[in-house]
Structure 1
Amino acid sequence: MKKKSIVALLTTGAIATATPFFMDFLARWEGREYVVYADKLAGGLPTVCKGITKWTSPYPVVVGERWSKEKCDAVEKQVTVETQQKLAMCIRNQGITQHVFDALSSHAHNVGVNATCQSRAVRLINAGKIKAGCDALAHGADGKPVWSYANGRFVQGLYNRRLAERELCLNGL
């Protein structure tokens, strides 16, 4: 019998999307920019608000364009909810908590839902090894940092984010 994803938990409200806590956590790592800029860590990808790009935005993201606070609020919420709904489709362990889901959501917001869903962290969590899955957000099986590189170079800020996601995830145990 195939295990169900956590979509049922989202439907019942046991796990929530775009919570104020999560949006604050995201802001800690993404910041908030109202003028679209070329993100150097993402190869010049136009980015605005809390990490909104052309890959997630329902609107064009053009370098130099100014977005209002209201537009950022609306798009951030829409993108967050859509990201979390897609993420829920690949998480099969219904025993996770809001903190575990939020940690995975931050990871997905930063590296993409598909990458997070295919990650070692999600595989471990789905196998019931939640602590090991939380650890895998920041470290490989060899103990070395993962998801902390841009253009082949280690970035301390990305590693700090991975450590914060790991800590948030572990707080959910």
Structure 2
Amino acid sequence: MKINKLLAAGVTGVLALTGVMVAEFEGEVRTGYVDPVGVVTACFGHTQTAELGKTYTEKECLNLFAMDLGDHNEQLLRAVNISLTTSEHAAYMSFHYNVGAGNFRSSTLLKYLNNGESVKACNELQRWVYADGRKLPGLVKRRELERQLCLSELTDA
């Protein structure tokens, strides 16, 4: 996905950086489908209002994506009680977008993060590579990229 499309949808800064990464991993599927864990999904991993079999336009997908990124960012920032580097923020946004607010809030990763154990928190990402009990190569790749990004600006990493 081109960054210009995200910018046109009103997505800037950390959200644009995260958007490019999330779009790459989620992929764009313009017809509603059932994902590997049984959730109806469309566009760039949109689940809230996705309809099985419905066809979405590029504009609809971009608008849903911008809305989803904003929603996930708000939920992420409500859960985190410390300052994040830009890279941590982008990595955790990608993770949050993929696993959802509930899983993020109950994670050991968030406990480490809010305790100021930033490196430990980043390293927790690599544990989240299973979907419905199966280790998925795409999640292994995604989590490693998120982990590397997360650690990239930390001085004690």
Under TM normalisation by the shorter chain, which class is it? 0.7 to 0.9
CA distance in 2, matches of 1:22, 1:154: 23
Kindly provide the CA deviation profile for residues 19-57 of structure 1, in whole angstroms up to 9, marking residues without a partner as x: 322110101110111111121x122x211111001xx3x
Question: Residue 18 and residue 171 in structure 1: after superposition, are their counterparts in 2 closer, same or farther (change >3 A)?
Answer: closer
1:26 counterpart residue number: 22
- Code of the aligned partner of 1:105: M
3-state DSSP of counterpart to 1:52:
coil
2:104 counterpart residue number: 116
1:88 counterpart residue number: 77
For normalisation by structure 2, the TM-score amounts to: 0.84
Among 111, 116, 125, the alignment partner of 2:113 is 125
3-state DSSP of counterpart to 1:28:
helix
Q: CA deviation at 1:72?
A: 0.8
- Code of the aligned partner of 2:22: L
1:137 and 2:125 correspond: yes
- Code of the aligned partner of 2:63: A
- Code of the aligned partner of 2:68: V
CA distance in 1, matches of 2:95, 2:30: 22
* Greater helix proportion: 2
Q: CA deviation at 1:77?
A: 0.6
What 5-or-longer segments of structure 1 have no aligned partner?
Answer: 1-15, 139-145
CA distance in 1, matches of 2:132, 2:15: 32
User: Percent identity at matched positions?
Assistant: 27
For normalisation by structure 1, the TM-score amounts to: 0.77
1:147 counterpart residue number: 128
**Contact in 1 for aligned 2:15/2:70 (Cα 8 Å):** no
Question: Residue 17 and residue 115 in structure 1: after superposition, are their counterparts in 2 closer, same or farther (change >3 A)?
Answer: farther
2:50 counterpart residue number: 61
Among 45, 52, 74, the alignment partner of 1:51 is 45
CA distance in 1, matches of 2:13, 2:111: 21
Kindly provide the CA deviation profile for residues 83-132 of structure 1, in whole angstroms up to 9, marking residues without a partner as x: 110110110112x1121011111111111112112211111111111111
2:139 counterpart residue number: 158
Aligned length: 143
What 5-or-longer segments of structure 2 have no aligned partner?
Answer: 1-11
CA distance in 2, matches of 1:61, 1:124: 33
CA distance in 2, matches of 1:74, 1:172: 31
CA distance in 2, matches of 1:17, 1:86: 17
CA distance in 2, matches of 1:172, 1:32: 30
Q: Which has the larger radius of gyration?
A: 1
Q: CA deviation at 1:17?
A: 6.5
